[in-house]
């Protein structure tokens, strides 16, 4: 059975305040980094999934992302799935 590699990128919705991002932006300024207007922090989740085909893998990964990996009230997510045959993003 093919093994699919995927990455789920989770970020706060634009309307949600990001205190960790603001604190990091302020710290960057104290380090002498200038010109940094915004900084928002998210998370990247990398996983591997066995599935009979790409459509099944995609369906399961979307379900997992929407129900478990991200909070749909305050977060958005993007799914990147790699083609198992070529090991490249599909």
In a domain, 22, yes or no: no
Strand (E) positions, the chain?
A: 3-12, 43-50, 75-83, 88-89
CATH of the domain at 73: 3.30.1280.10
Please report the pLDDT score of residue 50 as a whole number: 94
Task: Indicate whether 74 pLDDT > 50.
Answer: yes
State which residues form the domain around 64: 3-15+42-89
Among 1-5, 51-55, 86-90, the range scoring the smallest mean pLDDT is 86-90
In a domain, 23, yes or no: no
**What domain count does the chain have?**
1
Please identify which residue in the block is written with the tokens 């591997």: 48
In a domain, 49, yes or no: yes
Please report the pLDDT score of residue 84 as a whole number: 62
In a domain, 85, yes or no: yes
Report the distance separating Cα 69 and Cα 44, nearest Å. 10
Encoded tokens for 90: 């599909």
Task: Indicate whether 83 pLDDT > 90.
Answer: no
Please report the pLDDT score of residue 86 as a whole number: 47
């Amino acid at each position: 059975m093919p093994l699919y590699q995927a990455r789920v990128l989770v970020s706060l919705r634009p309307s949600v305040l990001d205190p960790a991002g603001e604190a990091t932006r302020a710290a960057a300024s104290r380090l002498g980094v200038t010109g940094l207007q915004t900084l928002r922090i998210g998370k990247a989740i990398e996983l591997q999934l066995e599935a009979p085909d790409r459509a099944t893998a995609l369906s399961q990964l979307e379900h997992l992302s929407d129900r478990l990996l991200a909070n749909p009230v305050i977060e958005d997510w993007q799914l990147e799935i790699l083609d198992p045959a070529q090991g490249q993003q599909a």
